[in-house]
Structure 1
Amino acid sequence: MLKISTQFDGGNVDIIDITDPTNMQLQLPCDNASDFKQWFYYRVQGAAYQNLTMHFSNAHESAFPGGWQHYEAMCSYDRSNWFRVATEYENGTLTIRHTPLANSVYYAYFEPYSYEQHLNLIGEAQGSGLCQVDDLGSTLQGRDLNLLTIGNQAASDLKIWITARQHPGETMAEWFIEGFLNRLLDHQDPTARALLDQATFYIVPNMNPDGSALGNLRTNYAGANLNREWQNPTLEYSPEVYFVRQKMHETGVDLFLDIHGDEEIPFVFVAGTEGVPSYNERIADLEQRFKTAFKAASPDFQDEHGYAKDAPGQANLGLATPYVGETFGCLAYTLEMPFTDNHNWPDDDFGWNGQRSLRLGEAALSPILAVLRHLR
């Protein structure tokens, strides 16, 4: 008998009618306390060798309907190995077609990164002997908001801050952090050693653990879009930003990266702080140095496609990157990865996925090293 379930970390879908496997009617679910919708993650059982056709009739109501162009859903039998399956978007409906080769199969908007993976990542980082794990506070549902501190924590050290997954459905951001940590904590990597000789890193692998567990796309348990809360976060609505911002003011910031995924733009790119009042030639020079070094470190990174730059003085300081760049007068970037594929280097079987995000995280150490001695 055909069955769909979502009672696992990050699981979420609305079931309308699945009596006919060739015409299954589903809907994209809303975030638990907001109208944002785009993320889905569910398990199908009892469908081995059946030609499944799964229709999402409300795809046109999603937060980013342009993201369905050239999109293919992700699929896995074991939740470790994910691949793309045939998907089309027509007349406002998203349709996934697949014939599973086993009775249990998972479908997701993007390769998930579970809370258990998150906890394992933190444990492995601490086990390196180079990483200190601190608790910044609790989320509204009582989950831990952890900070990883890596380096000598000397007063003279440069302070490098990296946050990820303010938007919980952008799971590629935590895959990126896993790759970044793998390299930074490698005793034999000369780039990592050179960085830790001069800098202390402050890394928040998951800014939104509640939203991640709930299967939300963009918001926390209270319905807050954390990347709009940086000017005036509150303990009642956006404690995640409140705690991280408080710690930033204690340590100072010399370089900031906020890691995201973009639903519609099929490239890897960064967005800077051109629109903040204090933007100047020094920051512009740092941005150019960073981008040049990143392109040399990873062919997946490019600087032709991305967001339109803010006009001078028009940046939204509620966003993390403009707020941190303006407050600390530092190089600050939002880094975006695609949900579909990187059109510069397409992969028909996997598209953009967890492993490519991880490799990009490894590569990101190189541009940080390139700008390090210019940060102050």
Structure 2
Amino acid sequence: MNANAMNPTINAAFDGGNIRVVAIDGDRIDLEIVTDHQSDFFQWFYFRVAGAAGRTLTYRILNAGKSAYPFGWPGYKTRASTDRQAWRMIETRYEGGVLEFDFTADSDLVWFAYFAPYTMEMHEALVARTALLPGVAHRELGQSLDGQAIDCFTIGSGPKQVWIYGRQHPGESMTEWWMEGALERLTDSADPITADLLAKATFNVVPNMNPDGTRRGHLRTNAVGVNLNREWHTPSLEKSPEVLCVRNAMDLTGVDVAMDIHGDEAIPANFIAGYEGIPSWTDAHGEKFYDYGRRLAAHTPDFQTEKGYPKSAPGTANLSMSTNQLAERFGAVSMTLEMPFKDHDANPDAEYGWSPERSKQLAHAMLETLADMIDEI
């Protein structure tokens, strides 16, 4: 056996992968996360290890302290999988700017990720099976800078226009798990709550706003390093065609309710952010957003209203962010959902933390809550 054969092999050259090997020294593997292309953002990682069976190896991500949100690492736990189906949390340490974890592999292959991945191949499968379902209309609204499709599903016939979109920040993979749950519920022809909701509202669902960043393994930006959630005031074909084609489609329908689905690195809770600070703010408009949050918290233990982002002061809302832009542009009841990379601490899961399945269940709860108040919007 040659010396190289004794070392495990690290690989991230696949759909959504991200890591760079710095050094392998015995049982210690030093790594770095790669920045988004043409950007300084990085935090998402996803890689596989071959040839580690029966060994306890220590993995160290040396540049974690320089990542986009280093305050997200304390209390965070890496996800590990041997089948790419179940992603369990493993004990993870963060000290001196280094993220470190140990793993004893009982199989030839193991994968590690910041959160359970939702790759572009998984997205294509979601699009294919959803497009075949009765009552679903598929449109390609436009294309990304890399030429990938911006897919949109229209479901329902009611007068209220609901737009649901996610994955503006591609490393927030829990968002497309949520989207999968939402699409499954909206296409459940046997569900009476769904049937009633679809009679009152038409849903436009864009499951992935940033396919280029998803495939490239980015945290936050598209193919040219642009943060799409800072493009909604003046999107362009050159920098943000993904936003431009979606906003153009919204202009044709109008928007009564908007849900922008995200993940948050630091806060161990699910919460929604609103549109305080927009020029046209009224208490009556804002109360619909607050009422939704209260009803959702009462409806599921996987949501709360105590933790979240600070509210913008009057007149200071950033209109380049979609939630603010759509509330101002259309008078929409507009919200940003944030799900944790950690866990929903009010209702924790010691094995999986916040997970794909719980993301999907939260989508169901959010649609049920919307059904309960759609007549009032």
TM-score calculated relative to the size of structure 2:
0.97
Task: Establish whether residue 12 from structure 1 lines up as the match of residue 14 from structure 2.
Answer: no
- What does residue 191 of structure 1 align with? 193
Q: What residue is the counterpart of 1:335 in the other structure? A: 337
The one-character-per-residue Cα deviations of 1:50-97 (angstroms, maximum 9, x if unpaired) are 111011111110000011011110011111111111210011111011
1:293, 1:366 within 8 Å by CA — same for their partners in 2?
Answer: no
- Identity fraction in percent: 44
Q: CA deviation at 1:295?
A: 1.4
Alignment of structure 1 residues 29-48 onto 2, 5 Å = 29-48=34-53
Contact 1:112 1:171 in 2 (8 A): yes
Contact 1:297 1:367 in 2 (8 A): yes
**TM-score, normalised with respect to structure 1:** 0.97
Is 1:116 matched with 2:124? Answer: no
Q: Give the corresponding residue for 1:267.
A: 269
Tell me, what secondary structure is at the counterpart of 1:188? Answer: coil
Matches within 5 A, 1:128-207: 128-152=133-157, 157-207=159-209
Please tell me the residue identity of whatever aligns with 1:34.
S
Which secondary structure state, in structure 2, belongs to the residue aligned with residue 183 of structure 1?
helix
Confirm or deny: 8 A CA contact 1:13 1:42 kept in the other structure.
yes
Matching residue's letter, 2:340? P
Q: Could you list the runs of 4 or more consecutive aligned residues of structure 1 that deviate by over 6 angstroms after TM superposition?
A: none
Task: State the match for 2:260 in structure 1.
Answer: 258
How far 1:292 moved relative to its partner?
A: 2.2
| C-alpha distance in structure 2 between counterparts of 1:206 and 1:168, whole Å | 8
Match of 1:91 among 69, 77, 96: 96
Q: Which residue of 2 aligns with 1:323?
A: 325
Map 1:221-370 onto structure 2 (within 5 A): 221-370=223-372
**How many matched pairs?**
371
**Unmatched segments (≥5 aa) in structure 2:** none
Alpha-carbon separation, structure 2, partners of 1:94 and 1:289: 39
Tell me how large the CA RMSD over aligned residues is.
1.0
Q: Structure 1 residue 3: deviation in Å?
A: 0.2
CA drift of 1:242 comes to: 0.6
| SS of equivalent residue, structure 1 residue 89 | strand
8 Å CA contact 1:289, 1:370 repeated in 2: no
Task: Determine which of 39, 49, 55 is the counterpart of 1:50.
Answer: 55
Determine the structure 2 residue equivalent to 1:106: 111
Aligned partner letter, 1:372: I
The equivalent of 2:64 in structure 1 is 59
8 Å Cα contact 1:286/1:371 also seen in 2: no
Q: Deviations over 1:313-346 (max 9, x none)?
A: 1010010000000000121000000001111111
Aligned residue type for 1:110: F
